[in-house]
A and B are shown apart, each in its own frame.
Chain A
């Protein structure tokens, strides 16, 4: 952080070559940060498969959605494009590991969650908290996923049988992941 401030103060006096250096350094820093966040998101989505949540709450398709903490962080502390890219790349890599159907489900859920949380994130701190944002993302993720499953299986009534219990549990899982993301988000200022 200290370096950035020093560079900013000097930028008016330093030659153009140094300014270009600073820009490319920032681009590199942003790329590295996004790569780290992507790997964190991947690890979280792999690790949460080991949590036997279905033994506790027997709702088919239920998961904690820990990777959403990364999306929340990127949305509130980085650029929204970064959040979108992390979601898309995470879905693609998870799809490569788990299979094409997982890719479709993960992508539909992740994209719907992003396009719900993105406009809502403008009101974070004023009309909403991180927890509300997380709950909205969790619910949107479930809606996107079940809708995609209904589309693949040609059975729109899946929305009636699988979605209501998932929506109700998303209130709980969304609150939990919001709790997990809150302390991390609160410790950082906007990085970009």
Chain B
């Protein structure tokens, strides 16, 4: 892969200043492109967040645990649920799930990054806790998805 010819000029301004022993405060080094990047990234984050908040987030009815897209367990989280915990093995890692009425979490995991544990309790429909090493996703489902009891009419 060849370098872009213009790339040779990258960073020369800062080195020139260093050589001439000119120090300028960091905020004067910021250019318009920096502010544009800050705005773009913050905008993307806010955009994705509104995409998340968009659908009405109901209280948890159940949690679905899936292993790379395949459902392997379901947990009832509705009002009459007793709290409990369950050990799960997946892809050579051990996990302990813990649930109460309306919420669930990865209580323990022996995976290196601990992202699933640090996600903490999840309690609203659409909330997720994921673990890449064990290929597990714990997803909360709310009332709207509960269509198999035949009592409610769902209008789309």
Contacts and interface: CB of A to CB of B under 8 A. Distances in A.
Interface in A126-175: 126-132, 135-136, 139, 149, 152-155, 157-165, 167-168, 170-171
B11 A128 contact: no
Interface string B96-135: 0000000000000000110110111000001110101101
A76 interface: yes
B87 interface: no
A65 to B, nearest CB: 14
A132 B41 contact: no
Interface in B33-72: 33-34, 37-38, 41-42, 44-46, 48-49, 51-52, 66, 68-69
A104 B52 CA distance: 26
Interface residues of A, number: 60
A153 B130 contact: yes
Contacts of B144: none
B9 interface: yes
Contact of B68 (A75, A154, A160, A179): A154
21 contacts: A60-B115, A60-B118, A76-B11, A77-B11, A102-B133, A121-B11, A122-B9, A125-B9, A125-B10, A128-B31, A129-B29, A129-B34, A130-B14, A132-B34, A153-B132, A164-B48, A167-B41, A167-B42, A189-B19, A190-B8, A190-B10
Interface of B: 1, 3-4, 6-15, 17-19, 26, 29-34, 37-38, 41-42, 44-46, 48-49, 51-52, 66, 68-69, 112-113, 115-116, 118-120, 126-128, 130, 132-133, 135-137, 139
